[in-house]
Structure 1
Amino acid sequence: MDILRFITAGSVDDGKSTLIGRLLYDSKNILIDQLEALEKQSKNKNENGVDLAILTDGLRAEREQGITIDVAYRYFSTPKRKFIIADAPGHIQYTRNMITGTSNSQLIVILIDARQGVIEQTRRHSIIASLLKMKNVVVAINKMDLVDYSEEIFNDIKAQYELVAKKLKLENVNYFPISAFNGDNIVSKSDKTSWYQGSTLLDFLENVEINENKESENPRFQVQYVIRPQTDELHDYRGYAGEVISGIYKKGDEITVLPQNIQTKISKIETGGKEVDFVFTNQPAVIHIEDNIDISRGDFLVKTNQQPKVENEFEAVVCWLDKKELNEGNKYFIQHKSKTLKAIIKEIEYKIDVNTLEKTPITESIKLNEVVKVKLKTASPLVFDSFEERKSTGNAILIDETSNSTVGAVMIL
């Protein structure tokens, strides 16, 4: 089964946590002891006697205040697909949480309160989806029960959002009239929206095509660990362990080791302790090569004719995550999957307004939650694809050298 990673976004009290709770509850992904605890803690009870939002609001402050503060990840599965859901906070001051949660998602569910229509926060989250090159957008018009399941209101909000989607060039936008509180059109079709002819939200999530073509075109494998037992039994054993990020690797393939730019061939592939002829995307593997080359953690093995970029100076969009301000000349570690390098902010080119996507000139230091375009320089060459081409090898994080805190989310251009 494949895995769909998606994020829910919307304004405060649009029902994101309740929607996720409903998906878990109605798809029978809640254990009996969880259900018992849920019933005891519930204050805002629905017809089943439970408050479904509690399933995702894990922090005590979230439950007490009835808001989402941090990104909460939940996992569930159906016979057709596995799901990883990120529940993003709706408050403006948690924009950074929204961006980091979206960067690893393949689909975004934007909730709109049927009583409110498209508001500023709807536009902000849609702009972030556009900035992060989100391929699939679901617009869930929630709380339809509070507007008497009105087809006219649904169509009006749909028309409002279509203008936003057109301006931001969002593709594959799908609309659903739902009530997360009552469960209408989420797992089961509702008889209260007889005018709606589309599928349920879960049915759509189970069947939506995740466009992974680009992930398959150019094989990428990054070394996480060099296996060199040096025992009598395995005296000459040298394998390079990691996960296949994308594509297929076969025994006999001509590959290039980057950033060294040395060509060799795959002599053997192992996975699960057994020798195999090939491995593919998301599989853990140990790759052996024909030649003795100095390969370290973080190096890439790629097909010789399908190479990524290898640079020590590049442009990126950075979402700033730290209370300490960002300035030109600041030094950090950049972590790109298994590779960690020293880096310097060579130039801050402009700030991106997350409300409009407009570029604004830099007049002061960059503060928490702000998004900027920068030029980065690393101590040695970095192997990467652009974020638009392949998210998995186009994103990175900046780490403070003294505190080891993650201070920036990086999307390489």
Structure 2
Amino acid sequence: MNNTPEQYPEIIKHGLIIWFISMIIGAVIFSKYTIQIENKLYKIKDLSNNELVDIFKKTINGNITATLIIAIIWFIATIIMYYILNLKFGNFAAKSIWVGGLAGLLSVPFMLYGATSLLFSKASRLFSEEINLRNLTAYGIKFPVLNKLLFVFGFSIIAVAVWIGLFGYYTGVNKTIDEIQKSGYEKLNIISQTIFAQEDTTNNNILFDKIKNLNIPTNECIVLADKNGNILSNFKQPTNIFTTKTDNIDKLIKTNFNNTKHIYDNRNQNVISFKPVDEDYTLILLINIQSIEMNAFWIWFAIFVIIAIVVAGTNSVTLSMWIGKSTDNIKHLFEKLVENDISENSTKDSEDEFGEISEKYNKYIFSIRNLIDSIQTSSVSVLDAGVQLSSISQHIA
């Protein structure tokens, strides 16, 4: 992701510190929340009606609360991580980490939503039972199944798309950097052969004039340095480069004077190539890739994410609407039961848990109807027997 090997220890160190602190903060907040629910659960019979309703709402809304907490903490940690990396390594190096964290923001909180839903489900049922025993009513934040599926599946797919899209984007950028490094080496070979004729090596002015007269693009810079690391030709590029603010071009020249080497400076987005030409000089070519057209990679990244959003949205909406229809059908039937209407049967449109609920509902309704018919038949029989008994009594009298 355009982070050089020398930067990885710093990235890992800051990442571990930031996320460890974030996890501790999240765990403390979440622990206080769950401990409060647990304490109330142990003395559920002693709670007043208002206390019972209040703790039920906190429990039933616990998954939403936990999701919001982790989302806020994750976002703040990502911003802090980006800020630190931007100070140390520059915007381009920090951007990949930050966008990766943003992709995590789209998926991790919803993973926690499912986990906390399971965690709080038993407590919610116990509080609900006590509320029913006291003939109370209490409601949490309404979050329909349609929206749950839409958010969870949708954002998860988009997050994966962002990660894969970023991988593709930075793969393209790294490929471009590799090609620039190869072309830089070839260019240095040509330049060294052009300006370093044997008779010119002792005359710096002639070397400077030849370098000055080279047709170098505006995004490139040729540097001539001696074996002591002194820059002999004009150099106007930024000096703070590579891994930390203390690293500069002088240090790199001294380190790599006798090496044919390529370095990527992602603080200033420079590809730096070294070419020793003899025992006294080395040529350094800096190619700044900020001015190189990178929009094509961003366009493909945007296209990839848009396609993922369309696919995620279509799948989530269609699946959610189908499940929503099944739940609406069940909801409608139970509303009829509340109205003492058992005339409707449930229709089964799938072979799954919803289908099983429909079948069992129909069996339940059928048994109620049979019971009613049996009661009606018994009532008629009892009435007929009463009439007959009355008739006999009158006849005897």
> TM-score by structure 1 length?
0.24
Greater strand content: 1
Bigger RCO (CA 8 Å, 6+ sep) = 2
Greater helix content: 2
Of the two, which has the highest radius of gyration?
2
